[in-house]
Amino acid sequence: MTFSHVFYLHGFTSSPRSTKASYFSERFARHRINLRRPDFNQPDFATLTITRMLAQIGGEIEAAGDGPVVLIGSSLGGTLAILAAERFGARVARLVLLAPAVMFAKPGHDLLSPERVEEWRLRGMLPFFHYADKTERLLNFTFYQDSLRYNAFEATFSAPALIVQGMRDQAVDHRTVEAFARVRPNVTLSLVDDDHQLTVSLPRIWSDVEAFLGLTD
């Protein structure tokens, strides 16, 4: 199967210009594949929600035209890839999930302490350090409220998925990712000695992705 539509979904407070996004873009280009990288910070970060991002992904997939789609998601982008695979069904042919936040905004994922969540609710907005902008950006409490509507951990999808998870990840607990993969025969889990960024493991990850997508000779 030839995959002409490959999307990279960046993580929370990240951007399509991140280290991983650029790394994969360069390597897919060697196979003459244009890695599409939607920017979830647009039109603005303050009004970001899971619902808005899923709608954006749907629009990007529709605009891409016919053909199987591959979704590569990092952290929260992995959450979005899972939810999109459930929503768009057979259109999504493969998933590559890098440290996916399968318990995002759920017990077991320390997005914020209960005290900070309550402060967020009372204030209406809360500052988050945005790694792409290298400064704090305000985010509406509606982001948190909206995220509670979604449960990636319980999502069902049939597309084959490759997960790469760092054993030293302090943002996403590898045990929750292992539990997610364990009950899904269509998921292959690769545990690596790395942190949440997976920077050290990128060459190995790319080798696995090439094989998973049939890009090797």
| pLDDT digit string, tens, across residues 80-93 | 999 999 999 889 99
* pLDDT, position 109: 61
The candidate with the shortest Cα–Cα distance to 188, out of 56, 72, 95, 66, is: 95
Q: Is the pLDDT of residue 2 over 90?
A: no
* pLDDT, position 114: 86
With tokens 């943002």, the residue in question is 171
* pLDDT, position 166: 97
Whether 172 contacts 109, CB under 8 Å = yes
The candidate with the shortest Cα–Cα distance to 86, out of 162, 183, 157, is: 157
Which of left, alpha, beta for 108 (phi over 0: left; psi -120 to 50: alpha)? left
pTM for the whole structure: 0.95
- Please give the single-letter amino acid code of residue 42: Q
Q: Which residues pair with 94 in a beta bridge?
A: 70
* pLDDT, position 107: 61
* pLDDT, position 201: 98
Name the helix (H) or strand (E) containing 139.
strand 135-140
Q: Which residue segments constitute the domains of the chain, with CATH numbers given? A: 5-212 (3.40.50.1820)
* pLDDT, position 112: 79
Tens of pLDDT, residue by residue over 90-148, are: 899 999 999 999 988 776 565 678 898 999 999 999 999 999 888 999 999 999 999 99
Compute the mean pLDDT over every residue in the chain, rounded to the nearest whole number.
94
Whether 69 contacts 59, CB under 8 Å = no
**62-79 average pLDDT score:** 95
* pLDDT, position 217: 66
Instruction: Give residues with Cβ within 8 angstroms of 193, minimum separation 6.
Output: 166, 167, 168, 200, 201
Q: Taking the mean position of all CA atoms in its chain, how far away is CA 207?
A: 19
The distance in angstroms from the start CA to the end CA of the chain is 14
Tens of pLDDT, residue by residue over 157-188, are: 999 999 999 999 999 999 999 999 999 999 99
